[in-house]
Amino acid sequence: MTHPVLGIDIAKLTFDACLIRPDGSLRHRQRFPNSATGFAQLAQWLAKHLATTDGLHACLEATSTYANALARHLHDAPHHVSLVNPARIHDYGKSRLTRTKTDKTDAELIARFCLTQVPAGWTPPAPDISELQALVRHFEVLAAARQQHLNQLETATSALVRDSLATLIEHLERQLAEVEAAIPRHIEQHPGLRADAALLVSIPGVGARTAARLLAEVVQLKEFKSARQAAAYAGLSPQQRESGTSVRGRPRLSKTGNARVRKALYLPAVVAKRYNPVVNALCLRLAARGKPPMVQVGAAMRKLLHLAYGVLKSRKPFDPNYAHAA
């Protein structure tokens, strides 16, 4: 081993760290505050246990948004940083027959995963993408809260509760309108986002809202090496279940990836089945082979992401003739 590795198990308020030094020895530290104060304490702790932090590879799970600030801080330090799908860490732990689960052992597991698997580096999104992501995700939170209160209003019997819910719904609707207007305004103010959004909406089935969600969630979509890689990131790759002569499971989407992307593509895929000539032809072929409707929708979601990758990579609007040929 020639470089130090840092595994971080992060939660909303705190994080635990496990450092594997170049000589293979371990150092643990628990309960750093997940704040600027904790980040400074982490830097001091690393300086205490390392002669130099040059070449440090830090690894964190991509859990909600709790890791974002620390990951950005470590990247700016600068250190090599990896944000890893928690499913990969979980499966790695199973492969090691790990039975004990505490914050301390989780941090060590992440460090050993980083040491042996050497995950790809992570680069923070540009400020315009970060702001768009914040707006899109806030809109989704507000929409979910509004729907929850509407559901409660349907069954509420108390007049006081109904009045309270109506007030909350009215407030949320005002906030939704404000954020919804801010999203296209933000895109319009940034030439790169504006150009990418124009390319995406050229695809039948992809509207302005879907384009914004894709630009927010599939960060630097055109930077993937292939459309298949982008589909794998979103968990839209088909997963086979066959073994020997007895196991013949139905292929299904892996769903090991960004769930927000899959959610963003579901309704557009339903629309594209009818109105996008490329997606429609794909679904007709699947139907002729006896594939059920949900398999067709899954394939349509994957095809839409492929088309999105294609227009962003080529910098050309959707062309059904070119897409059919591809």
- The maximal CA–CA distance of the chain, rounded, in angstroms, is 69
- pLDDT of residue 284 exceeding 70, the answer is yes
At 268, list the tokens: 């557009």
Question: Would you state the pLDDT for residue 222?
Answer: 67
**Size of the chain in residues:** 326
The 3-state DSSP class for residue 29 equals strand
The 3-state DSSP class for residue 133 equals helix
In this prediction, residue 220 has a pLDDT band, given cuts at 50, 70 and 90, of low
Q: Judge contact between 58 and 115, C-beta under 8 A.
A: no
pLDDT in tens, 24-60: 999 999 999 999 999 999 999 999 999 888 899 999 9
| Residues 213-227, mean pLDDT to the nearest whole number | 79
Please state, in angstroms and as integers, the Cα–Cα distance from residue 145 to each residue in 158, 168, 170, 221, following that order: 20, 9, 12, 29
Band of residue 128 on the pLDDT scale cut at 50, 70, 90: very high
- pTM summary value: 0.82
Which class does domain 127-189 fall in? mainly alpha
For the chain, the average pLDDT equals: 89
Confidence label for 226 from pLDDT (cuts 50, 70 and 90): confident
| Spatial separation of the C-alpha atoms in residues 184 and 118, rounded to whole Å | 38
Examine the pLDDT at 137 and tell me if it is beyond 90: yes
Mean pLDDT value across residues 161-177? 97
Check residue 159 and give its pLDDT. Answer: 96
Burial of 145 (0-12, 13-18, 19+ CB in 10 A): middle
Quick count: other Cβ atoms within 10 Å of Cβ 216?
26
| Residue 252 confidence (pLDDT) above 70 | no
pLDDT at residue 323 tops 80: no
The torsion defined by the Cα of 313, 315, 317 and 318, in degrees rounded to 10, comes to -20
Strand order in the sheet with 57-61: 26-33, 14-20, 5-10, 57-61, 80-84
Give the mean model confidence (pLDDT) for residues 62-84. Answer: 90
Mean pLDDT (whole number) for 164-192: 97
Does residue 325 have a pLDDT over 70? Answer: no
Average the pLDDT over each of 109-123, 174-188, 226-240 and give the range with the smallest value: 226-240
pLDDT at 34: 96
Least confident of 26-40, 88-102, 230-244, 271-285: 230-244
Q: What pLDDT does 238 receive?
A: 65
According to the model, what pLDDT value does residue 218 have? 78
Closest CA to 13 of 67, 50, 55: 67
Q: Which amino acid is at 195?
A: A
Instruction: Please tell me the distance from the alpha carbon of residue 34 to that of residue 9, in angstroms, as a whole number.
Output: 11
Cβ atoms 200, 308 nearer than 8 A:
yes
Tell me how far the alpha carbon of residue 227 is from its chain's centroid: 16
Write the class of the CATH domain 5-117: alpha beta
Q: Please check the confidence at residue 287 and state whether its pLDDT lies above 90.
A: yes
Contacts of 69 (CB under 8 A, 6+ apart): 34, 39
**Host H or E run for residue 92:** helix 86-95
Residue 231, phi then psi, degrees to nearest 5: -65, -40
Contact 228, 203 (CB under 8 A): no
223: Cβ contacts below 8 Å, ≥ 6 apart: none
Which sequence spans correspond to the domains of the chain? Answer: 5-117, 127-189, 208-325
